[in-house]
Amino acid sequence: MIAKKEHLFIVFENLISIKSGCSCEIFSECGLSDITVKQIGYLRAIDEHGEVTFSRLAKITKNSKPTITEMINKFVKMECVYREKCSDDGRVIYIRLTEKGQMIARAEEKALMKVIEKMADSLDEKELDTLIEILGKLR
């Protein structure tokens, strides 16, 4: 049983390595190979919540407004976000992702899809069904 667990460890380590490589490739394409996990998390929060103001993002991320302002200023310089005034109330400013920001926010999902594609290309229909059944048992 120990040998099987060690083998599973190696297999999953390989899968994680492939996914990580795909993510890094996406970040490099965006010219941001040194982006932090925390920054990616902020971009994902903006992406997931849509109409995000500075106050709302501060609540979502449990940060102060000055921290959010500083972070958004960095993201603007990195060309990941831009500010957009609300058409109904000019005092309200939305934080919007640029195409580059969207790529980064969705990089993990895209990398996971690449791993799944590699698995699907490597397995026949029956093996894929078996894998889905086995992985479906994990909770």
Helix (H) or strand (E) holding 81: strand 81-85
Helix (H) or strand (E) holding 53: strand 52-53
The rounded distance, in Å, linking the Cα atoms of 48 and 14 is 29
pLDDT, tens only, 58-99: 999 999 999 999 999 999 999 999 999 988 888 899 999 999
- pLDDT band for 108, please (50, 70, 90 cuts): confident
At 50 the pLDDT is 84
Quote the pTM value.
0.75
- pLDDT band for 135, please (50, 70, 90 cuts): confident
81 contacts 101 by C-beta, under 8 angstroms: yes
What would the two tokens of residue 119 be?
Answer: 């698995």
- Computed on alpha carbons and rounded to an integer, the radius of gyration of the chain in Å comes to 20
Domain residue extents for the chain: 2-124
Residue type, 4: K
Which has more pLDDT, 22 or 121?
121
At 44 the pLDDT is 94
Q: How far is CA 67 from each of CA 6, 54, 93, rounded to the nearest angstrom?
A: 43, 10, 16
CATH of domain 2-124: 1.10.10.10
